[in-house]
A and B are shown apart, each in its own frame.
Chain A
Amino acid sequence: MTTASSADHPTRRDFLFVATGAVAAVGGAATLVPFISQMNPDASTIAAGAPIEVDLAPIAEGQDIKVFWRGKPIFISHRTKKQIDEARKVPVASLPDPQSDEARVKPGKDQWLVVIGICTHLGCIPIAHEGQYDGFFCPCHGSQYDTSGRIRSGPAPTNLPVPPYQFVSDTKIQIG
């Protein structure tokens, strides 16, 4: 029996049992790697998540469009002067998730708001141009976002995130 020898006097037999058990345990743990790793996105899914380019030219002022990147809806809004002013008037410190509008757009491109259109509460898609703040309203649990996509009221904890993007020309952005 494995417990036959006393713990005070480790023997060669104890060493053998411990070594065998340890090697078996290492093998068992290593075996788990492929079985868990297979759940991660596969190579084709990762390749399909490459950056996309979006042409902004057709979007008129006050209009917004929805594009998909990595399966997520990205809202691109061409904001009016009024919307930009609304977003900048608000004292930043009074916001639930304080962030200035300038930090959420690219410098010199104040009219373009690009956000991931997924409510930070539980993942529903907010509706544009609705709610008290002329921004986004989430129909699931009533979260309201302003014209900068910042959370103003409701259960959502944070602002709509800004995806990584850059302007490749005056009227074209690359998301990702």
Chain B
Amino acid sequence: MSGPSDYQPTNPALKWIERRLPILGLMHSSFVAYPTPRNLNYWWTFGAILSMMLGVQIITGVILAMHYTPHVDMAFKSVESIVRDVNYGWLLRNMHATGASMFFVAVYVHMFRGLYYGSYKEPREILWILGVIIYLLMMATGFMGYVLPWGQMSFWGATVITNLFSAIPYVGDSIVTLLWGGYSVGNPTLNRFFSLHYLLPFVIAGVVVLHVWALHVAGQNNPAGVEPKTEKDTVPFTPYATMKDAFGVSCFMLFFAWFIFYMPNYLGEADNYIPANPGVTPAHIVPEWYYLPFYAILRSIPNKLAGVVAMFGAILVLAFLPWLDTARTKSSKYRPLAKQFFWIFVVVCVLLGWLGAKPAEGIYVIAGRVLTFCYFAYFLIVLPLLSRIEKPRPVPNSIADDVLAKAGKSAPMVSSVIALAVAGALFAGSAPSARAAEGQAAPPSQKWSFAGPFGKFDRGAMQRGLKVYKEVCASCHGLSYIAFRNLADPGGPGFSVAQSAAFASEYKVKDGPNDAGDMFERPGRPADYFPSPFPNEQAARAANGGALPPDLSLITKARSYPRGFPMFVVDLFTQFQEQGPNYVSGLLQGYEEKPPAGFTLPEGSSYNKYFPGHAIKMPNPLSDGQVTYDDGSPATVAQYAKDVTTFLMWTAEPHMEARKKLGLQVFVFLILLTGLLYFTKKKIWADAH
């Protein structure tokens, strides 16, 4: 479509360059003069959105790599110090982590669009296959990126996914050893995953260039599925498509910002805030939501090798789509049966995603098998059959005719709304966690001062909570990610610098070696971290009947409970993020003197309503009047629990107030920009209609 450029620069310097390297002409013919069908709807803006997301991921990723340490002993901590200490580190990390999900949201919309409008058909087969390759590379990149924070889900995700290759006959185990660089997932694995995670996005960018090249040779498909014939069928890429894409991108950024600033952990797993532990697998491990449909297919097949083959087959079958669907009509708009089957297929994918998050037992296994059959049947039976038996409706003569036919109907805005709704539904179908509630009652939801878009920490509660931590929790639990200086940080408990220094000097901190080579103790300084009560894990276990009291720095983010359908969908809109605080506060108040009849409590344990399995090694830590408050707050267990939980929410996310404050500013700005872009786009397109 894009012939030789007729671009002629007038500036002599540009002329000089253009004669030697016609890069400006290439840009001009590709992104300015390039003819784009005039009937494209907003589903087509997802190409631009994906380009933006690739850029966002590469830029934020390069920056995060400046602060990240790929070592098993330091990776988790370095991610925490990015979020806590690096200027705007929390923002960059949230952008990158939720950005991965946004990238997949956009790519799924983009793929379903191609599927619906037959964008894989002649002459766009290579364009489509390049897209499948990009998708595969994205999955590999996303997986390796998820390993880098080296939390529990990172570690066990890496273990499970690399073990997929052990299904290969004869050489499987050798391949797995090769991937690990050791006898198990360990430091060499982390190092190579970091290296590859840095490399692959640039490979993706390279394949994207081929993808765009192929697109510009074949030309864009369009909702009518008829190729442009005359000038009247197309408009120049700039300003028409550029402005429409800019508006689409801006809308998508609003959606993106919702997660960055208000729901950064909604799409993640609480377990990944627990440092990797090669000795304990989390009770229910699930991959990131974007892999769930394929994970469901893997689990629905009872044979190891066959399951792995089916899982990879489910992706690879996409590459053969151009030859499986041989119908001459491209757009499903004119294919009454294909259209219905398309929507059934969308539902099958969403349901598979939902199943992927459920435990593999009972009815879920059967449903998984039925849906796996449906998934493959769509490609291998339905599409080939429809090509032969379906009677399509007549397609318009030209794109111009298609535009005239629907003039008056305002399809674009409606479809963009639907786009967002479907994207939301896709999340809803697959995002939530799979932790099964084995006899675990959900703790009651409490009112927290820090909840919601304008939430702020209650300073009084934080200072009281710090007192509770210091006098009660600190005898067994560390707070190792918090330095005394943090107490004076903005958005913290509101200490002055002098107060934090005085607080620090009450602690003895081990330092050294001195000139004589000896370790010595000195009073704490603001730069020191809260000392841990035990020198190492073994000492902690020995003192606590074999149980390890967890570090409390991240506890309110590392604990959660299932919200169930439909609450987790509602949570997306109400910004409910307080499972962790509800759980911690519930647990502190959930002790019962006598276990219910029929429950045998193991020796040395206490009964707790909200602890998974109920038998908890920690004895009831709080009693009324145990800690003295100087500000007249009631000295009750309920108040202690609320205060210490508020304090621990701050230790888990010290920059939460900054996050929500910046979020509000970004939203005001983006709404303004999106509005302006909408009217600008409308003005520009007024010429075209």
Residues on A lying within 8 angstroms of B by beta carbon are: 1-2, 4, 13, 16-17, 19-20, 23-24, 27, 30, 33-35, 37-40, 42-45, 47-48, 50, 58
Instruction: Name the distance in Å between A5's Cβ and chain B's nearest Cβ.
Output: 11
Identify the closest chain A residue to B528 (Cβ).
A47
Q: Is A1's CB under 8 angstroms from B683's CB?
A: no
Q: Is B89's CB under 8 angstroms from A47's CB?
A: no
B window 290-349: CB within 8 A of A: none
Instruction: Name the distance in Å between A23's Cβ and chain B's nearest Cβ.
Output: 5
Which one of B66, B526, B672 has the highest number of Cβ atoms from chain A below 10 Å of its Cβ? B672
Docked complex Cα distance between A47 and B489 (Å): 12
Q: Is B87's CB under 8 angstroms from A17's CB?
A: no
Contacts of B677 in A (CB 8 A): 20, 24
Contacts of B59 in A (CB 8 A): 35
A38-B86, A43-B85 known; A23+B63 contact, CB < 8 A = no
Q: Is B680's CB under 8 angstroms from A50's CB?
A: no
Per a CB cutoff under 8 Å, which of B92, B246, B670 touches A38?
B92
A13-B683, A24-B673 known; A34+B526 contact, CB < 8 A = no
Contacts of B525 in A (CB 8 A): 50
Docked complex Cα distance between A71 and B163 (Å): 45
B window 70-105: CB within 8 A of A: 81, 84-89, 91-92
Which 5 interchain pairs have the tightest Cβ spacing? A34-B88, A47-B527, A42-B85, A43-B85, A20-B676
Which one of A1, A44, A48 has the highest number of Cβ atoms from chain B below 10 Å of its Cβ? A44
Q: Is A16's CB under 8 angstroms from B680's CB?
A: yes
Docked complex Cα distance between A50 and B524 (Å): 13
Contacts of B246 in A (CB 8 A): 24
B window 654-688: CB within 8 A of A: 669-670, 672-673, 676-677, 679-680, 683-684, 687
Q: Is B87's CB under 8 angstroms from A38's CB?
A: yes
Contacts of A16 in B (CB 8 A): 676, 679-680, 683
Identify the closest chain A residue to B84 (Cβ).
A43
Docked complex Cα distance between A98 and B338 (Å): 88
Residues on B lying within 8 angstroms of A by beta carbon are: 59, 63, 66-67, 81, 84-89, 91-92, 239, 246, 483, 485, 489, 515, 525-527, 669-670, 672-673, 676-677, 679-680, 683-684, 687
Q: Is A50's CB under 8 angstroms from B527's CB?
A: yes
Q: Is B239's CB under 8 angstroms from A1's CB?
A: yes
Docked complex Cα distance between A48 and B81 (Å): 14
Q: Is A38's CB under 8 angstroms from B239's CB?
A: no
Contacts of A50 in B (CB 8 A): 525-527
Per a CB cutoff under 8 Å, which of A13, A33, A42 touches B89?
A42
Docked complex Cα distance between A2 and B243 (Å): 11
Instruction: Name the distance in Å between B541's Cβ and chain A's nearest Cβ.
Output: 29
Contacts of B91 in A (CB 8 A): 34
Docked complex Cα distance between A43 and B488 (Å): 12
Identify the closest chain B residue to A51 (Cβ).
B525
Which one of A20, A30, A48 has the highest number of Cβ atoms from chain B below 10 Å of its Cβ? A20
Per a CB cutoff under 8 Å, which of B66, B483, B669, B673 touches A44?
B483
Instruction: Name the distance in Å between A41's Cβ and chain B's nearest Cβ.
Output: 9
B interface: dominant SS: helix
Contacts of B483 in A (CB 8 A): 44, 47
Q: Is A38's CB under 8 angstroms from B526's CB?
A: no
A16-B680, A34-B92, A47-B485 known; A42+B81 contact, CB < 8 A = yes
A interface: dominant SS: helix
Q: Is B63's CB under 8 angstroms from A27's CB?
A: no
Instruction: Name the distance in Å between B241's Cβ and chain A's nearest Cβ.
Output: 13
Instruction: Name the distance in Å between B506's Cβ and chain A's nearest Cβ.
Output: 18
Docked complex Cα distance between A33 and B84 (Å): 18
Instruction: Name the distance in Å between B32's Cβ and chain A's nearest Cβ.
Output: 11
Contacts of A20 in B (CB 8 A): 673, 676-677, 679-680
Q: Is A23's CB under 8 angstroms from B527's CB?
A: no
Identify the closest chain A residue to B515 (Cβ).
A58
List, sorted by A's number, 15 A–B pairs whose CB atoms are closer than 8 Å: A2-B239, A13-B683, A27-B670, A35-B59, A35-B63, A37-B88, A38-B67, A42-B67, A43-B85, A43-B485, A44-B85, A47-B483, A47-B485, A48-B527, A50-B526
Contacts of B676 in A (CB 8 A): 16, 19-20, 23
A34-B92, A38-B63 provided; 12 other pairs, C-beta below 8 A?
Answer: A16-B679, A16-B683, A17-B683, A23-B672, A24-B677, A37-B87, A38-B89, A42-B81, A42-B87, A44-B81, A44-B483, A47-B485
Which one of A27, A30, A34, A48 has the highest number of Cβ atoms from chain B below 10 Å of its Cβ? A34
Per a CB cutoff under 8 Å, which of A1, A27, A43, A45 touches B673?
A27
Identify the closest chain A residue to B91 (Cβ).
A34
A35-B59, A50-B527 known; A40+B680 contact, CB < 8 A = no
Identify the closest chain B residue to A44 (Cβ).
B85
Instruction: Name the distance in Å between A62's Cβ and chain B's nearest Cβ.
Output: 19
Identify the closest chain A residue to B86 (Cβ).
A42
Docked complex Cα distance between A47 and B487 (Å): 13
Contacts of A4 in B (CB 8 A): 687
Identify the closest chain B residue to A45 (Cβ).
B85
Docked complex Cα distance between A37 and B515 (Å): 38
Instruction: Name the distance in Å between B213's Cβ and chain A's nearest Cβ.
Output: 27
Instruction: Name the distance in Å between A76's Cβ and chain B's nearest Cβ.
Output: 14
Docked complex Cα distance between A3 and B59 (Å): 33
Docked complex Cα distance between A133 and B45 (Å): 73
Docked complex Cα distance between A13 and B243 (Å): 14
Contacts of A39 in B (CB 8 A): 66
Instruction: Name the distance in Å between A135's Cβ and chain B's nearest Cβ.
Output: 26
Q: Is A34's CB under 8 angstroms from B87's CB?
A: yes
Identify the closest chain B residue to A24 (Cβ).
B673
Q: Is B88's CB under 8 angstroms from A27's CB?
A: no
Q: Is B86's CB under 8 angstroms from A47's CB?
A: no
Contacts of B89 in A (CB 8 A): 38, 42
Docked complex Cα distance between A27 and B676 (Å): 13
Instruction: Name the distance in Å between A51's Cβ and chain B's nearest Cβ.
Output: 10
Contacts of A43 in B (CB 8 A): 84-86, 485, 489
Instruction: Name the distance in Å between B84's Cβ and chain A's nearest Cβ.
Output: 7
Docked complex Cα distance between A51 and B87 (Å): 22
Docked complex Cα distance between A17 and B483 (Å): 50
Docked complex Cα distance between A161 and B66 (Å): 31
Contacts of A27 in B (CB 8 A): 669-670, 673
Identify the closest chain A residue to B676 (Cβ).
A20
Q: Is A47's CB under 8 angstroms from B526's CB?
A: yes
Docked complex Cα distance between A47 and B524 (Å): 13
Instruction: Name the distance in Å between A27's Cβ and chain B's nearest Cβ.
Output: 6
Contacts of A45 in B (CB 8 A): 85
Instruction: Name the distance in Å between A55's Cβ and chain B's nearest Cβ.
Output: 10
Docked complex Cα distance between A50 and B525 (Å): 9
Docked complex Cα distance between A4 and B684 (Å): 10
